[in-house]
Amino acid sequence: IVDYANDYPQGVARSLGQVTYAPLRSGSIPFEGREVPTVSMSSYSKARKIAGILKDWISGGEFYLSQPVDPLPGVGSGLKFKPLPAKGKKR
């Protein structure tokens, strides 16, 4: 659980807890004795559609899987988190 309204714009990296995907998709989760609304950061239905397309490409020989060309940078890479500027809140 991440507070995108306060912690994220402030660049505070903390986890408030963990829940499974099902409660998040339901629209609210119990948190500290009350129901808190949730929103998705991505579209589950679009992700499933894209995964299906990619599966068809791989099965049809139109997209080839290979060994990684280069590993993704890790913690020791020296790269720093650069937060995005906060936009105005929707009311």
pLDDT at 90: 55
CA dihedral 62, 41, 22, 11 (to 10 degrees): 130
pLDDT in tens, 9-28: 888 888 888 888 888 888 89
Q: Which residues contact 63 (CB under 8 A, 6 or more apart)?
A: 54, 57
pTM of the model: 0.41
Mean pLDDT over 44-59 rounds to 93
pLDDT at 73: 84
SS (H, E, C) the chain: CCCCCCHHHHCCCCCCCCCCHHHHHHCEEEECCEEEECCCCCCHHHHHHHHHHHHHHHHCCCCCCCCCCCCCCCHHHCCCCCCCCCCCCCC
Mean pLDDT over 41-57 rounds to 91
Asked whether the beta carbons of 43 and 50 are under 8 A apart, the reply is no
